[in-house]
Each structure stands twice: as C-alpha cells, then as structure tokens.
Structure 1
Amino acid sequence: MQPGFFFGYGSLVNRRTHAYEDAHPAQLSGWRRAWRKTTLREVAYLTAVPDTTAQIDGLVAGVPGADWAALDARERAYMRVPARHQVRTHLPEDADLVVFAIRDGHHHNPDAVSPVLLSYIDVVVQGYLHVFGEDGVQRFFDTTDGWDAPILDDRRRPLYPRHQKLQRKETALVNDMLDRVGAKVQPVSSFNPLKD
C-alpha cells in the first residue's frame, strides 16, 4: 500500500509552519483558491474551490507515519478530496493524494465578523515567495478569489497561530500585492473578530 500524500496550497506552502520534510513543489489543475468563512472558525481562511480552467501552485507532502488523524486535526475545518490525477508530481500513479477543501455549501464570503487575517496572508505569501519566487506570489494572488474581503491588520499582535516574522522586503511585497488587487486592510481597532 502506498503512503498517503496531500497537496497544500496556503500556509502549508510556508515550510516554517510544519515539519513535513519531503514536501516538494507541484501544481494542482481544476482548482483555485478562495477566502471563505464557515461556522467552524472565527476568521476567514483559504479553501480550494473547483474551477476547470485554473491551476494553482502548492506543495505535495507525505503524511508522516500515515498519521492522518494529526493532519486532519490541523485541517479540521476541511474535508479530504481525492486529487491524485489532478496533481502534476513525481509520485507513483497509485499513490493516495488529497486536497483539503471546505465542504460545498458550508462556506460563505468573509465579512466584518469573520475577516481575513493579515498575519495569515503574510505567512502564505512568505511561503510562496521562498518556494516559487515573486512570479509565484503573483500567481497566488491571481488564482485566489475574495480579495474584496475585509482584512484585519493584526501584524503587531498576530492572531494567526502559525504567524511568522517577515523581512521588510517580504512585508513590502505583501503590501504591494494587496494594493494591486484593491484589498481593504483595516486597523485592528475597527473590529476584533475574536472578542465576545
């Protein structure tokens, strides 16, 4: 039996957020990303959504020790979707490979109550920059929907649990890309999605 693999397309592209040693770059066809909210989390996050015309960059990694339970815990708001024949990678044909996505009909557009965290965007962009370069960052923005969502500027006190410290040039790149897509970044004082 072949070991299990998964395709990561968000924070998992940032190798600083995990210890999956055999992670390598790959492309997933037939999907794009979207910022979405669900009742399962307090803030919006990325999900993969079907799109027959799209292709996204990401990392393929093996499930350490075939411990799907630990990976499912990290990805608790998602379901596993078989994707072996949609991923260009060097894995054997019979390898089990999935992409994590929110169940259809269980996600909605982000709003002021469930915004996107800037610290989360920072982590994702840093990962794409290190793995795919600036062109990869551009592709990330181009193949992700929902940039009209409210974005909470939590950089000074990050709310994202796997936040990372960015270099000045990385922060500038994130800011430039957000400006390019017309994103609306709001100060943390304007709302706090985690208060009671």
Structure 2
Amino acid sequence: MDVFFFGYGSLVNRQTHDYGNAERARAKGWRRIWRHTALRPVAFLTAVPDPDCEIDGLIAPVPNGDWRALDAREHAYDRIRLADLPDHPLPYQPEVAIYSIPEGKHGAPSMAHPVLLSYLDVVVQGYLHEFGPDGVERFFATTDGWDAPILDDRAHPHYPRHQHLTPAETALVDDWLVRLDTAVVHLDDHPPIPRSPQ
C-alpha cells in the first residue's frame, strides 16, 4: 500500500504537483510558521509541533513509496512519519509523513530572507479552492511569523511554481496582509534574490 504525505503549504495547491487522489485532511499537534534556512534564499513555511493546534492540508499517496522527487522538492526539510494520523475520509489508515525543518536549523525571516508574495499567493489559492474562505481564515490563524517581511514579486515571480490568481483571489490575499499589518516590500526596493531551483 502506498505511503502518503501531508501537505500544509504549497502542496495544498493541486496545480503545483501531479500527485493524484489527494484528499482533504487535518493534522493534530502541528502549527505552521514562516522560517528560513541556509539551504534556501527566501523564507517558507514549516510545521512545528503544537499540541494545542491542528492544521488543514492535503494527503496524497506517493506511488510505490518513491520519495525521490518529493524529497528533492522539499530538500530543506526532514521527512517525519506522523505518529498521530490526520483526520481524513479514506476507509483505511495509511502511513503518513510530514515535512518539517528540524529544531535549531531554521531562523526567523528577515529582509535578507523574506517571504515571497508569489509563494503566499499559491498557498492561499490552494486553501481557498480546497477549504473555502473559512479555510483561508484558519490558515492565517494557525500560521505564525507574520512579522516577516513580504517581498512583492508578483510582477516578476521568483517562486518557480507561481500561479495566476483571479482579481478576487489577489484581493483576498492583500486584505489579509492588511489585517495582519504585515510589512510588504516591493521588488524594486530589495536587493536581488537568487532564484531557487525548487
């Protein structure tokens, strides 16, 4: 039987991968946070243990347990088997893994390592399509680190899996950034960032 991954960031957006038979799920005991590592030039989401939190996401099978492609995409993370299986609609309980950066190997985002708006757009679009506006609200509520600088690269996206957003989807993201009083930095006002191959 195939093993599964639990995606809680860009993997929630089905347009960024070709893993079929994905199902909506909820993982208990985890929370998202914006972090960066020396392995990538920008900040991104990781999951950290939190016994009082649960996060929405997608689970999908990894055919024949061949993790090579997904491990390459998630190369800054460790792949961890979930002890507490997510809530999901499957009629059986598969083995499920989550990607998380180990404690001590990540730091807070900074102007040198900002969050890409093109990446956040992809994540929010995924949650909107899968879980609706309430799911988007839960995403923002169960993610920490919104004091991170957000680099507005929409005109020239640096995220390799960037997607086209409708005007309504763009407005939804922008509205949440205003609500959270985030610091949005325009690409022209920021030193060049190397493009990540992943």
Q: Is this contact kept in 1: 2:85–2:96, CA < 8 A?
A: no
| Superposed CA offset, 1:115-170 (max 9, x none) | 00000000000000000000000000000001100110000000001000100000
Corresponding residue of 1:186: 185
Structure 1: unaligned runs, 5 residues or longer: none
Q: Is this contact kept in 2: 1:80–1:98, CA < 8 A?
A: yes
What does residue range 1-196 of structure 1 map to in structure 2 within 5 Å? Answer: 2-89=1-88, 90=90, 92-93=92-93, 95-194=94-193
Q: Report which stretch shifted further, 185-194 or 7-16.
A: 185-194
Distance in 2 of aligned mates of 1:172 and 1:146: 21
Q: CA deviation at 1:104?
A: 1.0
Q: Structure 1: which amino acid aligns with 2:171?
A: A
Distance in 1 of aligned mates of 2:192 and 2:109: 11
Runs of 4+ in 1 over 4 A off after TM superposition: none
Q: Structure 2: which amino acid aligns with 1:13?
A: V
Q: CA deviation at 1:64?
A: 2.5
Structure 2: unaligned runs, 5 residues or longer: none
**Two-structure CA RMSD over aligned residues (Å):** 1.2
Q: CA deviation at 1:194?
A: 1.4
SS in 1 for 2:84: helix
Distance in 1 of aligned mates of 2:143 and 2:91: 26
Q: CA deviation at 1:86?
A: 3.6
Q: Structure 1: which amino acid aligns with 2:52?
A: T
Q: Structure 2: which amino acid aligns with 1:56?
A: I
Q: Is this contact kept in 1: 2:26–2:86, CA < 8 A?
A: yes
Q: CA deviation at 1:22?
A: 0.7
| Superposed CA offset, 1:151-196 (max 9, x none) | 100000000010001000000000001111111111112213515x
SS in 2 for 1:87: coil
Q: CA deviation at 1:84?
A: 4.8
Q: CA deviation at 1:14?
A: 0.4
TM-score by length of 1: 0.95
Aligned-pair identity in percent equals 56
TM-score by length of 2: 0.94
Q: Structure 2: which amino acid aligns with 1:111?
A: S
Distance in 2 of aligned mates of 1:113 and 1:181: 21
Q: Is this contact kept in 2: 1:115–1:150, CA < 8 A?
A: yes
Distance in 2 of aligned mates of 1:21 and 1:63: 9
Q: CA deviation at 1:99?
A: 0.5
How many residue pairs were aligned? 193
